Structure 1
Amino acid sequence: MGEILIGSCSWTDRALVGSGWYPTGRRDAEGRLRHYAERFPVVEVDSTYYALPSERNSRLWTERTPDGFVFDVKAFSLLTGHPTRSAVLPAGLPGDPRDPRTLDEVWRRFTDGIRPLREAGRLGAVLFQFPPWLRPGVRAREILAQCAERTAGWPVSVEFRHPDWWRGEREAETAELLRSYGFAAVAVDMEPSLPSAIPPVTPVTSGRLSVVRFHGRSSAWGTGSKEDRFRHEYSDDELREWVPRVRALAARAERVHALFNNCCADAAVRAATRMRELLDDFRGREAEAHQSAEELPGVTRPVS
């Protein structure tokens, strides 16, 4: 059984910082990360989607967290085909983000920015969350091939936002495509009634890693403000749906990252804590059942 790491999709989100979850005396940049890392073994860095990461920050993150703690880093917007403001691009580059020289330099700086995490063995994965307009097809395959070439040797996870990738017969084709590049497929939990909802499939496409991202089940996904889109309190019943699924992923991958993205106040860290408790309860009941079966009359323990 693989290791299951549970955490949230940010430790710096403004709503979390303002929720009071961080105690007095630990609300500066260093204190917040240390406080978080004492409670969870993994976190997703979403700030790297909005601005390129820096080597200095990556180095500080490794220094402020214990051995074994890992960071999943979200790929910069330009690298996944999302709109990118010229103001966040490196100075001196062509103004058009589509210019190949700009793209090459952004890749270089992104690579340099996460290097301290890679060298310290603290990079859990680089998350490529592709936009909803990236449909299955020839162009999408070209983009994935280019991504594989640029990220050779990195741990990579891929989340598709267009539901056709995982619908019907295409599910097996998508899984095989990701498997061919060694990319870990990201399973998604979101409001299932939405037309854009990603099916809650859980393919394992990398023996090293499987990822689940819990976006919450708000019906305002894709329409309201950020607070509206992610405002969701996971119930125990909703989390229990995923307990056997997460366990099944861990049976096929060396490590599973379960990350909560319902970033409204402290909802994500509370849901992560509760999911860990439910998984522990499940393991406990499983162990008790196994022990009881061994103690039944006529049951012989195997000789080791």
Structure 2
Amino acid sequence: MQHMAIRVGTASWTDPTLLASGWYPPGTDSAEQRLAYYASKFPLVEVDATYYHPPAEQTARLWAERTPPGFLFNVKAFSLLTGHPTRTAAIYQDLRPETPKQRVYPKDLEPQAYEDVWTRFLSALDPLADAGKLGALLFQFPPWFTIRRSNKDFLVEVKRRCSPLPVAVELRHHSWFDGDNAAETLDFLRRHELPYVAVDMPQGHRESVPPVLAATAGLAMMRFHGHSGRWASKDIHEKFGYEYSADELRTWAPKLRELATHAEQTHALMNNCYRDYAQRNAAQLTQLLSA
């Protein structure tokens, strides 16, 4: 397959520690200016906020309007749609279950309300899709989403629900990659043309999966979570506060080039979002890939 350019980006452009780091030039104070500056440096960004709160269609329209042609947004699926516990207050007001619970799961909603969450979440992204700027919907599954028939069925259902919007799947339980399961998992994803998201992350934790690089569809994706010694921390900046060394990135560049030969497009995202670590590493990786 023809080698295609690898898009490199980061998993945030609005993190408070990034704003405080001095990465944005003085005077880049508005949301519009920041996104425009970011998009002048990178061709791709991941939207993390949509995991916590469904986006408004107007927001997606502004993202499309404020970025140059060819710029892509990978949008993280709302937590409820991946089976994570979801803040009740984050659900559309008229669809919220009547419960004193702070967090709910899909089963806590009326079946029709759950369907409506899907519909509204996806339709809010229409402006991005219409502008050709939706890279993929990233479905990051919880650590208890293990390899089993019902979960495989759900992956196929996710693709069907989102069609024609592209999806990508990140699995967070080692069972998908234990022994012979790795080949089975990748075969399954290929059969259903579901893009698999490879990850680089600390090993030895409940949600650790090995860095298996594989293209299972036209889109290949790699996310770099870093190797923080504080991975188990509840503090998101301790968890992701890791800067890759030039040597580490140098070992990844040929692997990503090889991955890109098996896909029509390849995305590499730095998710080590603390201060400007992700932005600096993304710039270094871009340089290494173009060398």
Shorter-chain TM-score category?
Answer: over 0.9
Q: Are 1:80 and 2:82 counterparts?
A: yes
Q: Which residue does 2:290 correspond to in 1?
A: 280
Q: For residue 101 of structure 2, what is the aligned residue in structure 1? A: none
Local SS of the residue matching 1:234: coil
> CA separation in 2, counterparts of 1:141 and 1:160?
11
Q: How does 1:119-268 map to 2 (within 5 A)?
A: 119-194=130-205, 196-206=207-217, 208-268=218-278
**Runs of 4 or more above 6 Å deviation:** none
Bigger Rg over Cα: 1
Q: Distance in 2 between matches of 1:101 and 1:268?
A: 40
Partner of 1:50: 52
The CA RMSD over aligned residues, in Å, is: 1.4
- Residue ranges of structure 2 left out of the alignment (5+ in a row): 98-103
Kindly state the Cα deviation for residue 168 of structure 1 after the two structures are TM-superposed: 2.1
User: For each residue in 1:21-73, what CA deviation from the matched residue of structure 2 results, as whole angstroms up to 9, or x when unmatched?
Assistant: 11122121000000000000000001110110111111111111100000000
In the alignment, what sits opposite 1:112?
A: 123
The alignment's TM-score, normalised by the length of structure 1, stands at: 0.89
In structure 1, how many angstroms separate the alpha carbons of the residues matched to 2:153 and 2:20?
42
Would you say the 8 A contact 1:239–1:275 is kept in 2? yes
Following the alignment from structure 2 to structure 1, what is the Cα–Cα distance between the partners of residues 92 and 160?
22
Residue 115 of structure 1, CA deviation: 0.7
Cα deviation, residue 215, structure 1 = 0.3
Deviation at 1:193, TM superposition (A): 4.7
Amino acid at match of 2:255: R
After superposition, give the CA deviation of every residue in 1:99-122 in whole Å (9 maximum; x if it has no partner).
212211110111111111111111
1:175-231 CA deviation, whole Å, 9 max, x = no partner?
A: 12212222111010112354642111111100x210000001012213341111001
Q: Is the 1:5–1:257 Cα contact (8 Å) retained in structure 2?
A: yes
- Looking at structure 2, the residues matched to 94 and 52 of structure 1 have their Cα atoms a distance apart, in angstroms, of 13
Give secondary structure in 1 for the equivalent of 2:269.
Answer: strand
| SS of alignment partner, residue 9 of structure 2 | strand
Corresponding residue number in structure 1 for 2:8: 6
Matching of residue 39 in structure 1 with residue 41 in structure 2 = yes
Preserved CA contact (<8 Å) 1:194 1:219: no
Q: Deviations over 1:116-164 (max 9, x none)?
A: 1111111000000000000001221232132122012221110001122
Decide which moves more: 51-60 or 159-168.
159-168
The alignment's TM-score, normalised by the length of structure 2, stands at 0.93
AA partner of residue 249 (structure 1): L
- Ranges in structure 1 where 5+ consecutive residues have no aligned partner: 282-304
Tell me the matched-pair count.
280
Kindly, what percent of the aligned residue pairs are identical? 47
Taking the aligned partners of 2:281 and 2:147, their CA distance within structure 1 comes to 33
